[in-house]
Chains A and B, each alone.
Chain A
Amino acid sequence: MEKITSLTVHETLDGLKNKEFTATELTAAYIKEMEKRRALNAYVLETPEHALKQAEEADRRYRDGTARVLEGIPLGIKDLFCTKDIRTTACSRILDGFVPPYESTVTANLFAAGASCLGKLNLDEFAMGGSNETSCYGPVVNPWQEERKLVPGGSSGGSAAAVAANICAAATGTDTGGSIRQPSAFCGVTGIKPTYGRCSRYGIVAFASSLDQAGPIAKDVRDCALLLNVMAGYDHRDSTSVKAEVPDFTKALGQSVKGLKVGIPAEYRPAGLNPEIAACWDRGIEILKSAGAEIVNISLPHTKYALAVYYIIAPAEASSNLARYDGLRYGLRVPGEHLDNMYINTRSAGFGKEVKRRIMIGTYVLSAGYYDAYYLKAQKVRRLIRDDFVQAFNRCDVILTPTAPTPAFPIGDNSMKENPINMWLNDVFTVSVNLAGLPGLSLPAGLSGDGLPLGLQLIGRAFDEETVFKAASAIEKECGFERLK
């Protein structure tokens, strides 16, 4: 028999409802697996007692008929979400020992729907990175071909690795430039970054506030829909969360894609695109075409500028957001003779290399004399990138692209270490979606020649996650991707 930890969330819910196993048995099985797989370094904090206590409550609710939509589902929570009375660090030394007195809205929604917390998951420090190597807790190992010690992607590397390795039923992620989608692709799991404003950012450690969005990483498309149903919604505590109705996303699954117009952007197929990635993309196109979709060639002409725009805007917002780490109110404090010395000592000891790099760039592009040349310029090109999508969506309903330019690469890759821009290029297919605020989903759609998962990305109109889910479920059904069990 298949291990219960290999089940998807929807299969697990069926099992719990049909009394095939209890939430306590399920949770105990996950705790055992979590302990067995510690070498992956996916969890930075395990909270087994907490999860077992929540499981007891779930079992009581199944008995007395008051079970909620995610009752008894054990989740891993990216350590960027503040969890009440559970240490939250953003995988940075500067938040050493921080125990939030409050709960993020997204995790509060999940727990109020009956889900439980197995622990906090590893990520790139402050979600700044594409390989999970900038974490102060060290890198995460991709569960695919574990002996090769490949990265899981980032920044939600712990989340994607934990879902792939079946050491949580599903996980939360956040995505500022590709941080849900790229690790999902690297680990052979499914993740969606919803439309900007769909999920509340309240209680999520801020990186770049105009780009950050929370979303689920899960074992299949249906699980993502189930989780997003609960995570999404207006929140008065986040002034950028949007008062839009949250439909039941699962209703879009399995619907016919006949007549659906699928846009294929020419700019995402540059000369030199990895042939395996191109082949996987072609297969996705074929699947949708065979299912009756209409393929439309589109152009997103400002795509090539998206990374440069992103690496001005994201560091600018980060330098401002991270100014709060001053050694006074929470986290690390390194003494200094005067106030400024205390700030400098604390921040220099507390932040890692990549975070410092981005704070420096952000501070520079916002400083007097350079603001117009860099920051304002980037904001203008950002509008052109958004307008490209507006134009494209006049001709198509959804856009299909690869998620990442390569499969997972080895931990400690030299070309990335030598030049940070090489690492940033991982986000080449995903950043535009954040700049435009659109929903983007990555699902596993094939394997590379040496057996590593490859992802495809579906991009939708703002607040049209339903079409994204519909197209994703059509591809998922036909591509026959096999998860790790």
Chain B
Amino acid sequence: MAIDRQTVNRVAFLARLKIDDDKIEATEEEFNKILNWVEQLNEVNTDEVEPLSAVNDLPLICREDNVTEGSQADKILANAPMAEYGYFVVPKVVE
């Protein structure tokens, strides 16, 4: 499947990245090179194969649904680029 400029821009937006106009062509080319390379997987017959998403076939261990480390708003906000009144500050999203 060849990737075109439109797809590059669509994927970039999904990833919330901007590809500079002068780099779109190079990105397109590189993307196609990589996708052509991974398409070698089509040689492998996987008709009867279950996908493997986790190597240890163990059930996830659940814990009690309790607060374990609460009441640390100050610590959490300490790294925020913008915080006010105990909240993260975001650009206006509601008109």
Residues on A with C-beta less than 8 A from B43 are 305
- Chain A residues closer than 8 Å to B11, beta-carbon distance: 360, 363-364, 367
User: Cα distance A148–B95 when bound, in Å?
Assistant: 59
Question: A305, B41: Cβ atoms under 8 Å?
Answer: yes
A197 to chain B, nearest CB (A): 5
With a cutoff of 8 Å between Cβ atoms, the chain A residues found around residue B88 in the complex are 328-329
Q: Report which residue of A243, A341, A360 has the largest number of chain B beta carbons within 10 angstroms of its beta carbon.
A: A360
Residues of B within 8 A of A379 (CB): 51-53
Q: Quick one: given A336-B91, A364-B31, are A309 and B55 in contact (CB under 8 Å)?
A: no
CA gap between A373 and B39 in the complex, in Å: 9
B2 on the interface (CB 8 Å rule)?
Answer: no
Contact B40 A308 (CB under 8 A): yes
List residues of chain A with CB within 8 A of the CB of B44. Answer: 302, 305, 380-381, 384
Please, what's the 1-or-0 string for B55-77, where 1 marks a CB less than 8 Å from any CB in chain A? 11010110100000000100110
Within B76-95, the residues touching A (CB, 8 Å) are 76, 78-82, 88, 90-93
Determine if B5 is an interface residue (Cβ-Cβ < 8 Å): no
Do B56 and A240 touch (CB < 8 A)? yes
A242 at interface, CB cutoff 8 A = yes
Contacts of A329 in B (CB 8 A): 76, 79-80, 88
Which residues of chain B come closer than 8 Å to A331, judged between CB atoms? 79, 81
Cα(A254)–Cα(B49), bound, Å? 41
Separation of A178 and B3 alpha carbons in the complex (Å): 30
Residue with the greatest number of chain B CB neighbours at <10 A, chosen from A236, A342, A347, A363: A363
B-contacting residues, A353-392, CB 8 Å: 356-357, 359-361, 363-364, 367, 370, 373-374, 376-384, 386
Given contacts A98-B79, A364-B31, contact A380 B58 (CB under 8 A): no
- Contact residues of B: prevailing secondary structure: loop
* Cα distance, A313 to B90, chains bound together (Å): 32
A305 contacts B31, CB within 8 Å? no
CA–CA, A336 and B88, complex, Å = 16
- A83 to B55, alpha carbons, bound, how many Å? 28
Q: How far is the CB of B70 from chain A (nearest CB, A)?
A: 14
Chain B residues bordering chain A, tally (CB within 8 A)? 51
Which residues of the other chain, B, contact A416 by a CB distance below 8 angstroms? none
Tell me the smallest distance from the CB of B42 to a CB of chain A, in Å: 8
Contact status A333-B34, CB under 8 Å:
no
Which interface residue of B31, B49, B91, B93 has the most chain A CB atoms within 10 A? B91
Residue of B nearest to A310 (CB): B38
Q: A101-B78, A327-B81 are in contact. Are A312 and B52 (CB under 8 A)?
A: no
By the criterion CB–CB under 8 Å, are B33 and A342 in contact?
A: no
Contact, CB under 8 Å: A386 / B17: no
**Bound: A339/B3 CA distance, A:** 28
Name the one of A347, A386, A435 contacting B16, with C-beta atoms under 8 angstroms. Answer: A347
Indicate which residue in A97, A342, A360, A462 contacts B12 across the interface (CB closer than 8 Å): A360
Q: Given the interface contacts A348-B18, A381-B41, A437-B55, does A421 sit within 8 Å of B61 by beta carbon?
A: no
Q: List 10 A-B contacts (CB under 8 A).
A: A197-B56, A302-B44, A309-B41, A338-B92, A364-B11, A377-B46, A379-B53, A380-B52, A420-B34, A421-B33
**A: which residues have CB within 8 A of B?**
97-99, 101, 196-197, 210, 236, 239-240, 242-243, 302, 304-305, 308-309, 311-312, 319, 326-333, 335-345, 347-348, 351, 356-357, 359-361, 363-364, 367, 370, 373-374, 376-384, 386, 419-421, 435-437, 462
> A339-B91, A361-B31, A386-B52 provided; 16 other pairs, C-beta below 8 A?
A101-B78, A210-B55, A239-B61, A242-B56, A305-B43, A329-B76, A329-B79, A332-B81, A338-B91, A343-B16, A363-B14, A363-B15, A377-B41, A377-B42, A381-B46, A435-B55
Please name the 4 residue pairs, one residue from A and one from B, whose CB atoms are nearest each other, closest first: A437-B55, A379-B51, A333-B81, A383-B52
